[in-house]
Structure 1
Amino acid sequence: MHDVTWTLLGSRIRLRDEGKSHALSSATPVHERHGPVLASVLSLYHTFLSKKPTRLPSHTLLVSESALWAWHILYMAEQSRPPLSSFLPSARGYLECSSVELRRHERPRDITACPSFGPMYPSRTPIRGSLFRALDSIGLFINSIYFVSAVFLSALLYWLRSSPRSKLPLPPGPRKLPLIGNLLDFPVDLQWLTFMKWGQDYESDVIHVEAAGLSLVILNSHEAMTDLLEKRSAMYSSRSLPRSVAELIGWNWLMVAMPYGDGWKEKRRLFAKYFHPSETSLHRARETQQLHILLNRLMNEPEGFLKHIRYTVGSMAITMAYGIKIQETHDPNVERAENTIVNLSKCFIPGTFLVDTFRWLRYFPEGFPGTGWKGKIRDLQREMYDFMDLPFKAALDAIAKGTSTDSFVSRFQQDINEGRLSPEEQRLVKDMAAQIFIAGAETIVSTISTFFLAIVLFPDVLKKAQAEVDRVLKGRLSEDDDIMFMPYLNALLKEVMRWQPVLPMGMFHSVICDDEYKGYRIPLGSLVVPNVWSIFYNPEIFPEPEQLRPERFLEDGKLHVSGPDPTEINFGFGRRACPGRHIGESMTFHVAASVLSMFDITRTQDANGNLIIPPADYSNGIARWPGNPFRSNVPSSPDHKTPPT
Structure 2
Amino acid sequence: MAMSAITISIVATVFLLLYRLSRIGQRPKGYPPGPPTLPLIGNLHQMPNKQGHLQFQKWAEEYGPIYSLILGTQVMIVLSSDQAIKDLLDKRSNIYSSRPETYLGNIVSGGYRMLLMEYGETWRMIRKVVHNSLNIKAARTYVPYQDLENKAMLLAMLEQPASFIDHIKRYSNSLTTQMLFGFRTISTDDPRLKQLFHGFEKFSEVTGSASAALLDVFPILRYLPDVLLPMRRYSKELHRKEYDLYVGHYLETKRKLREGKAKPCFCVDLVRAQEELGFSDGIAAYVSGSLLEAGSDTTSATLVGFMQAMILFPGVPKAAQAELDRVCGDRLPDLNDLPDLPYIRGCMKESMRWMPTAILGIPHAVIRDDDYMGYKIPKGAAVMWNVWAIHNDPKRHADPRRFDPNRWAHDSQTSAEAAMNSDASKRDHFLFGAGRRLCQGMHIADRSLFLAISRMLWAFDFERAVDEETKKEIVPDMGDLIPDNGLLVQPRPFRAIVKPRSEWKASRVREEWSKMTKLLDNNQQWETVPEGLIWRDYEPVDAPAKT
Q: Secondary structure in 1 aligned to 2:322?
A: helix
> Is 2:477 aligned against 1:615?
yes
Question: In structure 1, what is the equivalent of residue 462 of structure 2?
Answer: 601
Question: In structure 1, what is the equivalent of residue 177 of structure 2?
Answer: 318
Per-residue CA deviation, residues 534-561 of structure 1 (Å, 9 max, x unaligned), is 1121112211111111111224x97899
> Is 2:509 aligned against 1:642?
yes
Post-superposition offset of 1:427: 8.2
Native 8 Å contact 1:168 1:520 kept in 2: no
Post-superposition offset of 1:151: 13
Per-residue CA deviation, residues 3-58 of structure 1 (Å, 9 max, x unaligned), is xxxxxxxxxxxxxxxxxxxxxxxxxxxxxxxxxxxxxxxxxxxxxxxxxxxxxxxx
Post-superposition offset of 1:582: 0.6
Among 209, 221, 232, the residue aligned to 1:374: 232
In the alignment, the residues of structure 1 paired with residue 105 and residue 282 of structure 2 have an alpha-carbon distance, to the nearest angstrom, of: 22
Q: Secondary structure in 1 aligned to 2:38?
A: coil
Q: Percent identity?
A: 28
Q: Residues 370-519 of structure 1 correspond to what in structure 2 (within 5 A)?
A: 370-399=228-257, 402-413=260-271, 415=272, 421-424=276-279, 428-519=283-374
Query: Which stretch of structure 1 is more off in the superposition, 608-617 or 295-304?
Result: 608-617
Among 44, 49, 58, the residue aligned to 1:183: 44
Native 8 Å contact 2:151 2:509 kept in 1: no
In the alignment, the residues of structure 2 paired with residue 633 and residue 450 of structure 1 have an alpha-carbon distance, to the nearest angstrom, of: 15
Per-residue CA deviation, residues 412-432 of structure 1 (Å, 9 max, x unaligned), is 44x479x8x443599853232
In the alignment, the residues of structure 2 paired with residue 564 and residue 339 of structure 1 have an alpha-carbon distance, to the nearest angstrom, of: 36
Post-superposition offset of 1:141: 6.3
In the alignment, the residues of structure 1 paired with residue 16 and residue 181 of structure 2 have an alpha-carbon distance, to the nearest angstrom, of: 52
Q: Secondary structure in 2 aligned to 1:252?
A: coil
In the alignment, the residues of structure 2 paired with residue 350 and residue 509 of structure 1 have an alpha-carbon distance, to the nearest angstrom, of: 18
Native 8 Å contact 2:67 2:79 kept in 1: yes
Per-residue CA deviation, residues 446-498 of structure 1 (Å, 9 max, x unaligned), is 11111111112111111111111222222333332221111111112111222
Change in 2 beyond 3 A, CA 1:318/1:342: same
In the alignment, the residues of structure 1 paired with residue 220 and residue 317 of structure 2 have an alpha-carbon distance, to the nearest angstrom, of: 54
> Is 2:426 aligned against 1:585?
no
Aligned-pair Cα RMSD in Å: 3.3
In the alignment, the residues of structure 2 paired with residue 416 and residue 520 of structure 1 have an alpha-carbon distance, to the nearest angstrom, of: 43
Post-superposition offset of 1:201: 2.7
Question: In structure 1, what is the equivalent of residue 492 of structure 2?
Answer: 627
Post-superposition offset of 1:274: 1.6
> Is 2:84 aligned against 1:224?
yes
Q: Residues 101-116 of structure 1 correspond to what in structure 2 (within 5 A)?
A: none
Counterpart AA for 1:271: V
Native 8 Å contact 2:49 2:209 kept in 1: no
Query: Which stretch of structure 1 is more off in the superposition, 581-590 or 326-335?
Result: 326-335
Question: In structure 2, what is the equivalent of residue 273 of structure 1?
Answer: 132
In the alignment, the residues of structure 2 paired with residue 475 and residue 277 of structure 1 have an alpha-carbon distance, to the nearest angstrom, of: 31
Change in 2 beyond 3 A, CA 1:404/1:559: closer
Q: Secondary structure in 1 aligned to 2:229?
A: coil
Question: In structure 2, what is the equivalent of residue 361 of structure 1?
Answer: 221
Native 8 Å contact 1:404 1:410 kept in 2: no
Question: In structure 2, what is the equivalent of residue 552 of structure 1?
Answer: 407
Per-residue CA deviation, residues 124-179 of structure 1 (Å, 9 max, x unaligned), is xxxxxxxxxxxxx8799659x9899899999x99xx9xxxxx98522111221111
Per-residue CA deviation, residues 312-363 of structure 1 (Å, 9 max, x unaligned), is 2112222321124535242122122112211222233363434334322332
Tell me, which stretches of 5 or more residues in structure 2 are unaligned?
Answer: 514-547
Counterpart AA for 2:129: L
Question: In structure 2, what is the equivalent of residue 192 of structure 1?
Answer: 53
Counterpart AA for 1:384: E
In the alignment, the residues of structure 2 paired with residue 460 and residue 453 of structure 1 have an alpha-carbon distance, to the nearest angstrom, of: 13
Post-superposition offset of 1:187: 0.5
In the alignment, the residues of structure 1 paired with residue 473 and residue 459 of structure 2 have an alpha-carbon distance, to the nearest angstrom, of: 23
Change in 2 beyond 3 A, CA 1:288/1:139: farther
In the alignment, the residues of structure 1 paired with residue 386 and residue 232 of structure 2 have an alpha-carbon distance, to the nearest angstrom, of: 31
Counterpart AA for 1:445: S
Post-superposition offset of 1:295: 1.0
Q: Secondary structure in 2 aligned to 1:234?
A: coil
Q: Secondary structure in 1 aligned to 2:175?
A: helix
Post-superposition offset of 1:308: 0.9
Q: Secondary structure in 2 aligned to 1:516?
A: strand
Q: Secondary structure in 1 aligned to 2:68?
A: strand
Native 8 Å contact 2:101 2:216 kept in 1: no
Native 8 Å contact 1:218 1:528 kept in 2: yes
Q: Which has the larger radius of gyration?
A: 1
Q: Residues 86-125 of structure 1 correspond to what in structure 2 (within 5 A)?
A: none
In the alignment, the residues of structure 2 paired with residue 614 and residue 179 of structure 1 have an alpha-carbon distance, to the nearest angstrom, of: 42
- Counting matched residue pairs gives 493
Counterpart AA for 2:150: L
In the alignment, the residues of structure 2 paired with residue 610 and residue 153 of structure 1 have an alpha-carbon distance, to the nearest angstrom, of: 64
Q: Residues 138-177 of structure 1 correspond to what in structure 2 (within 5 A)?
A: 168-177=29-38
- Structure with the higher fraction of residues in helix conformation: 2
In the alignment, the residues of structure 1 paired with residue 176 and residue 3 of structure 2 have an alpha-carbon distance, to the nearest angstrom, of: 66
Question: In structure 1, what is the equivalent of residue 147 of structure 2?
Answer: 288
Change in 2 beyond 3 A, CA 1:605/1:151: closer
Post-superposition offset of 1:394: 2.5
TM-score (norm 1): 0.70
Native 8 Å contact 1:217 1:522 kept in 2: yes
Native 8 Å contact 1:256 1:439 kept in 2: no
Q: Which gives a bigger RCO, structure 1 or 2 (Cα 8 Å, sep 6+)?
A: 2
In the alignment, the residues of structure 2 paired with residue 559 and residue 243 of structure 1 have an alpha-carbon distance, to the nearest angstrom, of: 38
Change in 2 beyond 3 A, CA 1:193/1:571: same
TM-score (norm 2): 0.81
Post-superposition offset of 1:263: 1.5
